[in-house]
Amino acid sequence: MDNSLKNIISSGLASLSGIFASDKATKSVLGIDIGSSAIKVVQLKKSNGKAVLETYGAIALGPYGNMEIGEVVNLQVDDVVKALLDVMKESNVTIRSGVIAIPSSSSLIFTLSLPDKISEDKLASIIPNESRKYIPVPISEVTLDWFVLPKENESSEDNIMNKPMIAKVEPKTEVLVVAIHNDVLSRFQEILTKTELHSDSFEMEIFSNIRSSFSHDLAPVLLMDFGASKTKLSIIEEGVVHVFHVVNRGGADITKNIASSLGISFKEAEKLKRSVGLDLNSNPEVADIVRLSIEYILSDTNSVVFAYQKKYNKNISKVILTGGGSLIKGLTEKASSNFNTEVIYSNPFSKTEAPAFLEPILTVSGPEFSVAIGLALRQLF
């Protein structure tokens, strides 16, 4: 456990430059994303400087807690282990070491504004102290990791979790800090141990997502991860996270709304949600429920984007959608008219070499796997 946290923040922030670095690994690597409704795994191997897709797979967690596919479940460690072993077996994962993602909802992310020119050693003693006011539990109960932001990206000491507004202040050392409760880390460590998986580190899911979803975007981009339980929003400029915010709604809430409005089971509602989405022509009643749920999430997102625009006087140049919930039919059209900008899906498999016949399915599955792919890529480059 001691060195497991060396870099939760990881090279996500350097993700745009790290792509061409060489020879980090020649053996296979595994990315493991344990979401609130499903586990996703991706195994990659480096060959001729490229990431080759060896295998990937997903498994719904609902059935391991006597619930439906797509439902959000809070499982005991042993059930998670069982699901993880099952998905690894079903997808023919051949290796026993990998990196696991820490969900954004299990952490706090904020920036500290510290006096300029502080040495690395000093930072290590100052940061825990300065972080106290942002952390609602004793500092001894959390593990901290941090990243000194590049100078041109100045930010204030606002807690970007709650107040997604960042001011320009100079000259200061701006540090992005991540705090994770030790219980969360112990749980993931226990999962790894019981699965007999070796891991050198963990990574915050947002940084894995950035690595796999971005190309060379410098202008501000809004990354939306529509999960089952939560929608994670981040605004990234020049590869650096400026804003991070979690909306407490996700795809499973949409299904629950359909189920309760129509008086049907979660299972039936899930099917309807996937087949109808926002398409009024196919089923106006369902499409309307979906629309209302989506509008709730978009309206929260608009406040975050607006606050950013106001503070920086900059517009979002693009929106990238990830997460299974973003596959809802009609979402890109709805989102692009809402944001009045280009909206695209993350296409993380495009960073891997895979047989051509798989391309259509990989393009569609991409948003669901972007965290797992990002985790695997981290170990290769």
- Pick from Mg ion, ligand ATP, none: which does 53 bind, CB < 5 to 8 A by kind? none
Q: By CB under 5 A, tell whether 325 contacts Mg ion.
A: no
Cα 239–Cα 149–Cα 170 angle in degrees, nearest 5: 125
Task: Give the span between the Cα atoms of 222 and 364, in whole angstroms.
Answer: 20
Q: Which residues bind ligand ATP (CB under 6 A)?
A: 35-38, 70, 103, 227-230, 250-252, 255, 270, 273-274, 323-325, 327-328, 368
Q: How far is CA 213 from CA 139, 294, 306, 344, 353, in A?
A: 33, 22, 23, 10, 16
Alpha helices by DSSP H, listed for the chain, are 15-18, 77-90, 120-131, 182-195, 205-213, 251-262, 266-276, 284-312, 331-339, 359-380
Closest Cα to residue 165, out of 173, 174, 155?
155
Nearer to ligand ATP, 160 or 327 (CB): 327
Least CB distance to ligand ATP at residue 251 (A) = 2
Least CB distance to ligand ATP at residue 20 (A) = 29
Nearer to ligand ATP, 178 or 206 (CB): 206
Q: Could you say which DSSP state residue 149 is in?
A: P
Nearer to ligand ATP, 153 or 255 (CB): 255
Task: Give the span between the Cα atoms of 147 and 6, in whole angstroms.
Answer: 11
Supply the DSSP string of 99-141, one letter for each residue.
Answer: EEEEPGGGEEEEEEEEESS--HHHHHHHHHHHHGGG-SS-GGG
Only segment of 7-15, 35-43, 156-164, 210-218 that touches Mg ion (CB under 5 A): 35-43
Nearer to ligand ATP, 60 or 114 (CB): 60
Q: Which of residues 285-324 bind Mg ion (CB under 5 A)?
A: none
Task: Give the span between the Cα atoms of 334 and 61, in whole angstroms.
Answer: 29
Nearer to ligand ATP, 220 or 325 (CB): 325
The strand pairing partners of 111, in sequence order, are 176
Instruction: State which of residues 164, 227, 366, 374 lies at the interface with Mg ion (CB under 5 A).
Output: 227
Only segment of 132-140, 223-231, 277-285, 298-306 that touches Mg ion (CB under 5 A): 223-231
Nearer to Mg ion, 157 or 368 (CB): 368
Least CB distance to ligand ATP at residue 216 (A) = 25
Instruction: State which of residues 35, 98, 251, 325 lies at the interface with Mg ion (CB under 5 A).
Output: 35
Which residues would be at the binding site for Mg ion (CB under 5 A)? Answer: 35, 227
